[in-house]
């Protein structure tokens, strides 16, 4: 039996008690299923998860933008003019259908796939192709019921699955924390320094507990 997450670990990391109690069992089950079962693997996984989900508070992608210029700056390959960007301000459905059209297995803008398969779960599973693959390999109906990924059990299950699919257990064993960030977040490497810090702090927390392996 490998090393397992406890409620005290989450509380020590700063997760509020009510949220920690809600997430600990789904996290523990998902990690056990996908061999995230050493201190190094668990610390790296939780470091990424805490940043990606704002401490497990956010399991749904933020799609509402209040600034047209911000949209234009962030999505220049999809949104070409300020007028087009203005038409997407505070319109999450239209925005997602525009910027995610034709990506990751999605259909065109009119298909509605962009919004239907926008980022959900701890690691923001995004796109029809990823929903289909995760659903098939996990035996879950994510294509038909994408909002399942907003529930703690599926949010954790999909994150642990994605972690393993991307080879992050092996990267964690080698302490390649920046490579993990690239695998989880992509080339943007958003908040890479904070992810390293969270992983290292989580490892220190886990090291205060005797390994059960």
Residue percentage of the chain with pLDDT more than 90: 94
Alpha carbon distance 108, 132 (integer Å)? 17
Assess if residue 122 is contained within a domain.
no
Find the radius of gyration of the CA atoms of the chain: 18
* Whether pLDDT at 209 is above 80: no
pLDDT band at 33 (very low <50, low <70, confident <90, very high): very high
Alpha carbon distance 70, 145 (integer Å)? 31
Alpha carbon distance 103, 127 (integer Å)? 7
Assess if residue 22 is contained within a domain.
yes
Q: Tell me, what's the pLDDT at 2?
A: 84
- What's the pLDDT tens digit per position in 90-104? 999 999 999 999 999
Q: Provide the terminal-to-terminal Cα distance of the chain, rounded to the nearest Å.
A: 5
CB–CB of 130/118 below 8 Å? no
Of 107, 140, 106, give the one whose Cα is nearest residue 33.
140
Domain count, the chain: 2
Average pLDDT over residues 54-82: 95
Alpha carbon distance 109, 42 (integer Å)? 38
* Whether pLDDT at 127 is above 50: yes
CB–CB of 168/35 below 8 Å? no
Identify whether residues 13 and 49 lie together within a single domain: yes
Identify whether residues 43 and 11 lie together within a single domain: yes
Of the listed ranges 74-78, 114-118, 176-180, the one predicted with least confidence: 74-78
Assess if residue 145 is contained within a domain.
no
Assess if residue 139 is contained within a domain.
no
CB–CB of 5/208 below 8 Å? no
Assess if residue 131 is contained within a domain.
no
CB–CB of 55/19 below 8 Å? yes
Identify the burial level of 174 via C-beta atoms within 10 angstroms of its C-beta, where 0-12 means exposed, 13-18 middle and 19 or more buried: exposed
Assess if residue 63 is contained within a domain.
no
CB–CB of 146/116 below 8 Å? yes
Average pLDDT over residues 103-111: 97
* Whether pLDDT at 210 is above 60: no
Q: Tell me, what's the pLDDT at 188?
A: 86
Identify whether residues 85 and 109 lie together within a single domain: yes
Assess if residue 11 is contained within a domain.
yes
Which residues form the domain of 46?
7-57+151-206
Identify whether residues 11 and 52 lie together within a single domain: yes
Identify whether residues 73 and 111 lie together within a single domain: yes
Assess if residue 212 is contained within a domain.
no
pLDDT band at 138 (very low <50, low <70, confident <90, very high): very high
Average pLDDT over residues 147-173: 98
* Whether pLDDT at 1 is above 80: no
Identify whether residues 160 and 196 lie together within a single domain: yes
- What's the pLDDT tens digit per position in 39-50? 999 999 999 999
Q: Tell me, what's the pLDDT at 212?
A: 42
């Amino acid at each position: 039996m490998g090393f397992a997450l406890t409620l005290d670990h989450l509380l020590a990391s700063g997760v509020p008690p009510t949220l920690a109690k809600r997430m600990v069992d789904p996290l523990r089950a998902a990690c056990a299923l996908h061999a995230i079962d050493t201190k190094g693997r668990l610390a790296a996984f939780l470091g990424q998860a805490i940043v990606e989900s704002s401490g497990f508070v956010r399991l749904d992608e933020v799609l509402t933008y209040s600034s047209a210029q911000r949209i234009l700056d962030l999505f220049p390959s999809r949104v070409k003019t300020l007028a087009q960007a203005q038409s997407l301000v505070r319109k999450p459905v239209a925005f997602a259908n525009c910027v995610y059209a034709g990506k990751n297995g999605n259909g065109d803008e009119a298909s509605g796939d962009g919004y239907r398969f926008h980022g959900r779960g701890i690691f923001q599973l995004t796109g029809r192709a990823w929903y289909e693959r995760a659903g098939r390999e996990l035996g879950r109906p994510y294509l038909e019921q994408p909002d399942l990924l907003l529930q703690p059990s599926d949010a954790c299950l999909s994150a642990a699955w994605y972690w393993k699919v991307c080879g992050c257990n092996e990267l964690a064993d080698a302490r390649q924390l920046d490579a993990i960030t690239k695998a989880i977040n992509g080339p943007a490497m958003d908040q890479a320094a904070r992810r390293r810090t969270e992983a290292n702090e989580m490892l220190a927390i886990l090291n205060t507990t005797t390994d059960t392996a």
